[in-house]
Amino acid sequence: MNSEQWARVTALFHEACACPPAERERWLANHCSDPAIHGEVEAMLRAYETNPEFMEQPVAELPRDVESLLGVREIAVGQRIGAFDLVSELGRGGMGEVFAAVRADGHYDQQVALKLVRAGYATAGVVERFRAER
């Protein structure tokens, strides 16, 4: 089937789907005179009706926060994370960044190195290594 024929099948199939199931066949007979296209759309309707939910559950989900992933919205010095103000950047890698930070909630003075994991990297293994490093 070539692209033009497929475009025709796509349009007819979609419009036929919008009809109540009992009327689909008659609608199609009235709107398509090419027997080859007609047969193709009929086969499409039969396949669709067996399971309209087919493939509706995606096999993988990707993170939506693309901007932070790509570093468009970087975490930067001066920003506050929890109780800490970021003072300077100590390092960065594929998984995230490390900042020197100071406690900013006024409870007590504390200097820390704050290691931040990028969205999508907080796997069980990474979290485990994080705890072990602490």
Interface ranges with other proteins (CB under 8 A): 1-3, 5-7, 9-11, 13-14, 17, 36, 39-40, 43-44, 47-48, 50-51, 54-55, 57-64, 66-67, 69-72, 94-95, 118-121, 123, 125
Which CB sits closer to other proteins, 26 or 129?
129
What is the distance of C-alpha 114 from the center of its chain?
28
Q: How far is the CB of 32 from other proteins (least distance, A)?
A: 14
Q: How far apart are the first and last CA of the chain?
A: 62
Q: How far is the CB of 74 from other proteins (least distance, A)?
A: 12
Which residue reads 């020197």 in tokens? 100
CA distance 23 to 39: 16
Which CB sits closer to other proteins, 82 or 125?
125
Which CB sits closer to other proteins, 75 or 100?
75
Which CB sits closer to other proteins, 59 or 108?
59
Q: How far is the CB of 6 from other proteins (least distance, A)?
A: 4
Q: How far is the CB of 115 from other proteins (least distance, A)?
A: 16
Kindly list the distances between the CA atom of residue 54 and the CA atoms of 49, 50, 58, 59, 132, in Å, as whole numbers in the listed order.
10, 9, 10, 12, 44
Strands laid side by side in the 80-81 sheet: 80-81, 84-92, 96-103, 111-117
